[in-house]
Amino acid sequence: MTSATQGVVIPKGQDEKSEKIMVYTSTSLYWGEVVVKEVIRVSTWLRTNAAPDRITLYNASGIITTTPVNAKPLHYGELNIPASQIHAYHLMPPARDPIDFDPTEPNRRMESVIALVSTFMFKGSLRLSANADLKKYLEVTRESFTAIYDAEITSGVIPSLGPISVPFVLVRQDTTSFAKR
């Protein structure tokens, strides 16, 4: 089965689905559709063993985010991004997955943080142990991607992008600076 948007056919098997995502690298912001198995939860995909070495975006667009001069989107039928270069990603609004935790779980709390990713600022919350703080969390956690909940994303270089609000974003821990709000 296949579907087409913007004229490019997206190759999709019977047990696959496509989702629109936004991907942040050190120099660019890209958006487009990924194809994954139906059982994959795209918003947490890169945290799993099913994460690929490269993400293929179909009907992709992108902008260079290191200079405000060329904020005009470039378009690609297919764009392959090394997963190692992805600093953050999320489902494209208004799409959303159900939350990935039990909000009634005892001894957990949300900590307001700012995550600085390249030229972007992600204001949101980390889910922490009740007796941990941001510094301790970052010292102990060895995950590649950290979840930021209820995030508002802005660009210091391209303010015309406006704020992007998402319920869930993953940021690569080793390329992100974290601050308390």
State the pLDDT at residue 149.
95
Which of 90, 98, 97, 81 shows the shortest CA–CA distance to 115? 90
State the pLDDT at residue 33.
96
Asked if 61 contacts 28 with a C-beta cutoff of 8 angstroms, the reply is no
Asked if 66 contacts 155 with a C-beta cutoff of 8 angstroms, the reply is no
The low-confidence residues of the chain, meaning pLDDT below 70, are 1-7, 69-71
Asked if 74 contacts 43 with a C-beta cutoff of 8 angstroms, the reply is no
Asked if 116 contacts 176 with a C-beta cutoff of 8 angstroms, the reply is yes
State the pLDDT at residue 13.
86
State the pLDDT at residue 70.
61
At residue 136, φ and ψ (nearest 5 deg) are -65, -45
Per residue in 162-181, pLDDT tens? 899 999 999 999 999 999 98
CA atoms within 13 A on the CB side of 108: 10
State the pLDDT at residue 1.
37
